[in-house]
């Protein structure tokens, strides 16, 4: 339901008396009469024609990253594209480091006007983001960690989540909608303060976990799971409170955990099976915007995807480089550790299916999707020129991810483009 402020300003728009000289908050721009949108792929002139009678707006976008971090690239690229495409009518106030509202308040903040768009990490709220948090278990279908496998996993997660009606219902129950339901970080791997050559080296070690499923994985090799806020992990490793940490590549690349735990171990033959990425969400303040504004926001998604892909590659490289500088080690997981963890991951997937969180055919669908996106990534020129453990040596020039990002968007997201 639109509030009186929305109705009053909408009436002014319809009467042709609105003359704003500065950007209004999103909550001030809804119109009661429909405003025609534009076709996907329309040129800038057509877009400008569609929004010529609309006032400029300023939206508040909250990111979990810092403005200097590598993971700020997807946010920056996305916001720049929206502003460009709108001819400067849509601008942003960026709120970094989740400082506008904590994850537990995001749904309310996106509906009461404190925020308009925000990046959420569903694993922080599995009780209300159960569908998406569970979907990360399907990443066990990946064939190890590599640049191509990371991109294939990215495409697979987008395809699975955009097409999951249960996930959309889960969001809608909170008054939320998505611009990207599962934007994956770089794959999880283990970082430790000392070498790990077998499962025996992990027995009794204190290992930081980030999700509930990682607890059983860590315990399966005799290690002790520790639930410590990620912001405290560096100091805990440095002081010896922790021995190891399970992290995503993007997280390690940003926080430089490798300076405290420079022994890195990547998956060799399997996926991490616990990759629950971030969601780009919005609530009522954006949902009630005129159609062409919502279409501009939606059509810029490929720039977010492209930036996230660059962040994955860049943070892997920087993390590995720093580990070498610290005279650490960059290897694949010991075979007995990976085999044990893969078995536990498969048990967890079976449990999620039995509990009704995932469909019975999730593994076969995920596997088919992963292989298709892996092929697509290679067709779009993304290639591994060596193992991920040597990525700092062969990834010397940034890949062009734009074509692949566009493919992921058009095949997974485009059917959900606002149209009414």
Phi first, then psi: give them for residue 166, nearest 5 degrees. Answer: -65, -40
In 300-401, alpha helices (H)? 301-325, 335-354, 362-379, 391-394
Give the sheet arrangement for strand 244-248, strand by strand: 224-227, 206-209, 244-248, 188-192, 263-266, 329-332
- Location of structure tokens 């955990």: 257
The two tokens of residue 337 are: 């550790």
Residue 5 Cα distances to 29, 115, 370, angstroms: 9, 17, 47
CA distance 254 to 237: 16
**Alpha-carbon distance 321 to 330, whole Å?**
10
Mean pLDDT per 10-residue section of the chain, whose length is 420 residues: 33 34 54 83 96 96 86 93 97 94 94 95 82 88 94 94 93 94 80 96 94 89 90 88 87 70 93 78 95 98 95 87 88 96 94 92 97 97 94 87 97 94
| DSSP strands (E only) in 50-205 | 57-62, 90-95, 117-120, 177-183, 188-192
- The CATH T-level fold of domain 4-137+154-184+276-313+407-416 is D-Maltodextrin-Binding Protein; domain 2 (3.40.190)
In CATH terms, 188-274+315-394 corresponds, of 3.40.190.170, 3.20.20.70, 3.30.1490.20, 3.30.9.10, to 3.40.190.170
Residue 249: the pLDDT is 73
C-alpha dist (Å) from residue 175 to 107, 108, 109, 117, 416 = 7, 9, 11, 13, 17
Q: Where in the chain is the domain with CATH 3.40.190.170?
A: 4-137+154-184+276-313+407-416, 188-274+315-394
pLDDT at 17: 30
Instruction: Describe the chain by its helix, strand, coil percentages, rounded to 5.
Output: 50, 15, 35
- pTM value? 0.90
């Amino acid at each position: 339901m639109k509030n009186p402020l929305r109705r009053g300003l909408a009436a002014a728009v319809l009467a042709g008396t609105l003359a704003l000289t500065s950007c209004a908050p999103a909550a001030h721009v809804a119109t009661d009469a429909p405003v025609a949108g534009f076709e996907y792929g329309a040129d800038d002139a057509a877009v400008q024609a569609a929004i010529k009678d609309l006032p400029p707006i300023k939206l508040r976008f909250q990111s979990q990253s810092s403005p200097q971090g590598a993971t700020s690239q997807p946010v920056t690229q996305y916001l720049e594209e929206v502003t460009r495409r709108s001819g400067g009518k849509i601008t942003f106030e960026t709120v970094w480091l989740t400082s506008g509202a904590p994850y537990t308040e995001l749904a309310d903040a996106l509906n009461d006007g404190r925020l308009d768009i925000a990046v959420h990490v569903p694993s922080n709220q599995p009780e209300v983001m159960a569908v998406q948090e569970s979907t990360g278990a399907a990443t066990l279908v990946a064939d190890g960690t590599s640049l191509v496998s990371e991109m294939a996993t990215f495409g697979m997660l987008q395809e699975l989540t955009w097409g999951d009606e249960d996930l959309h219902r889960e969001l809608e129950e909170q008054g939320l909608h998505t611009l990207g339901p599962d934007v994956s970080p770089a794959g999880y791997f283990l970082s430790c303060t000392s070498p790990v050559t077998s499962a025996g080296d992990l027995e009794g070690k204190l290992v930081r976990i980030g999700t509930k499923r990682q607890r059983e994985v860590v315990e399966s090799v005799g290690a002790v799971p520790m639930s410590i806020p990620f912001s405290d992990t560096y100091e805990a490793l440095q002081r010896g409170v922790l021995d190891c940490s399970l992290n995503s590549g993007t997280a390690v690349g940003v926080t430089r955990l490798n300076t405290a735990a420079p022994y890195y171990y990547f998956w060799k033959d399997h996926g991490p099976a616990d990759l629950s990425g971030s969601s780009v969400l919005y609530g009522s303040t954006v949902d009630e915007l005129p159609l062409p504004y919502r279409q501009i926001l939606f059509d810029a998604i490929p720039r977010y995807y492209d930036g996230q892909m660059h962040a994955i590659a860049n943070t892997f490289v920087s993390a590995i480089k720093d580990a070498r500088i610290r005279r650490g080690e960059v290897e694949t997981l010991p075979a007995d550790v990976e085999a044990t963890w893969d078995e536990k991951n498969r048990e967890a997937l079976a449990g999620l299916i039995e509990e009704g969180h995932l469909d019975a055919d999730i593994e076969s669908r995920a596997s088919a999707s992963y292989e298709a996106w892996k092929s697509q990534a290679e067709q779009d020129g993304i290639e591994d020129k060596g193992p991920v453990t040597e990525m700092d040596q062969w990834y010397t020039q940034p890949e062009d991810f734009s074509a692949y990002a566009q493919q992921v968007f058009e095949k997974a997201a485009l059917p959900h483009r606002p149209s009414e």
